Amino acid sequence: MATLSIARRFCGPAQSANGGYFSGCVAAQAAHTMTVRLIRPPPLDTPLTLREGDGDELVVMRAEERIAEARPATLALALRKPPAYFEAVEASRRYAGFAHHRFPTCFVCGTNRPRGDGMRIFAGPLPERDLVAAPWVPDSSLDRGDGKVRPEFMSAALDCPGFYAASLDDRMMLLGEFTVHINRLVRIGERCTVTGWRIAADGRKHTAGTAVFGEGGELCGSAQALWIEPKTPPAGT
């Protein structure tokens, strides 16, 4: 039985894990693309166990409490043409989180995280393309040991831009499901572009797509996320 613990560095909200990073850690236990469904906020610095469920399903448990479930999936996503890297740099200047951020210590998009600690992916709007975009240059703390970014950090990079694409009016939403497919791992120091776009909305449920492109415009990874407006917002938001 595999075990997992999310270090406090990798938070989203201050007291729980970044959903994309957590999903990447869970999906890394399988040899194929997985959809991870978050049932409860993944706790930090807490031993979790991964158990086999029905078929190829994985279940993440804290003692006898279900935290998440993962099942094999195929990601079929209609991608948007990416902007050039420097267009993404300009878009990031309009990042909504600079004016107001619900989770400023988020590992991926938090404005209070210094370089080399947080990923600092600040996705700002490109209205003419109907998407958000951000530059991303992975630092050495994300290295898996061969000059390439660890898969769970690729998953993390694909998380928060989807929120800013789906929540243009900054409404409170939490990650409900996340499906990531990685084409190739980006290199440490590579100038990447991350994009996000809205796919659909149905009541409190919102679907968004995200993608990471390498220096030459090559698709390196993509994801589809289901974001859910909670009936009761978490404390401190």
CATH number, span 2-72: 3.10.129.10
Is the pLDDT assigned to residue 52 strictly greater than 60? yes
Q: Single out the residue of 195, 228, 8 nearest to residue 87, CA to CA.
A: 195
Is the pLDDT assigned to residue 176 strictly greater than 50? yes
Domain boundaries, the chain: 2-72, 85-228
Is the pLDDT assigned to residue 40 strictly greater than 80? yes
Q: How far is CA 65 from CA 160, 171, 190, in A?
A: 26, 29, 40
Is the pLDDT assigned to residue 234 strictly greater than 80? no
DSSP string, the chain: -EEE---GGGBSSTTBB-HHHHHHHHHTTSSS-EEEEESSPPBSS--EEEEE-STT-EEEEETTEEEEEEEE------PPPPPPHHHHHHHHTT-GGGT--S-TT-TTT-TTSPBTTB-----EEEGGGTEEEEEE---GGGB-SSSBB-HHHHHHHTTHHHHHHH-TT----EEEEEEEEESSPPBTT--EEEEEEEEEEETTEEEEEEEEE-TTS-EEEEEEEEEE--SSPPTT-
Q: Residue 186: which region, alpha, beta or left (left: phi > 0; alpha: psi -120 to 50)?
A: beta
Is the pLDDT assigned to residue 65 strictly greater than 50? yes
Q: What is the mean pLDDT of residues 36-57?
A: 92
Is the pLDDT assigned to residue 146 strictly greater than 60? yes
Is the pLDDT assigned to residue 7 strictly greater than 60? yes
Task: State which fold the 85-228 domain adopts.
Answer: Thiol Ester Dehydrase; Chain A (3.10.129)
The predicted-structure confidence for 87-136, as pLDDT tens digits, reads as follows 999 999 999 999 999 999 999 999 999 999 999 999 999 999 999 999 99
What's the chain's average pLDDT?
94
Q: Single out the residue of 162, 159, 160 nearest to residue 201, CA to CA.
A: 162
| Number of Cβ within a 10 Å radius of residue 71 | 17
Q: Would you state the pLDDT for residue 237? A: 47
Main-chain phi, psi angles of 48, to 5 degrees? -120, 150
Q: Would you state the pLDDT for residue 160? A: 97
| β-bridge partners, 194 | 134, 212
Going by C-beta distance under 8 Å and a sequence separation of 6 or more, which residues neighbour residue 85?
135, 191, 192, 193, 215
- Report how far residue 84's alpha carbon sits from residue 126's, in angstroms, rounded to the nearest whole number: 12
More confident residue, 31 or 200: 200
Q: Do domains 2-72 and 85-228 have the same CATH topology?
A: yes
Is the pLDDT assigned to residue 79 strictly greater than 80? yes
The predicted-structure confidence for 148-161, as pLDDT tens digits, reads as follows 999 999 999 999 99
Is the pLDDT assigned to residue 235 strictly greater than 70? no
- Report how far residue 212's alpha carbon sits from residue 121's, in angstroms, rounded to the nearest whole number: 11
Is the pLDDT assigned to residue 236 strictly greater than 60? no
pLDDT band at residue 1 under the 50/70/90 scheme: low
- Report how far residue 136's alpha carbon sits from residue 121's, in angstroms, rounded to the nearest whole number: 6
Percent residues over pLDDT 90 in the chain: 88
Main-chain phi, psi angles of 151, to 5 degrees? -55, -35
Q: What is the mean pLDDT of residues 196-212?
A: 96
Is the pLDDT assigned to residue 18 strictly greater than 80? yes
Q: What is the mean pLDDT of residues 158-180?
A: 92
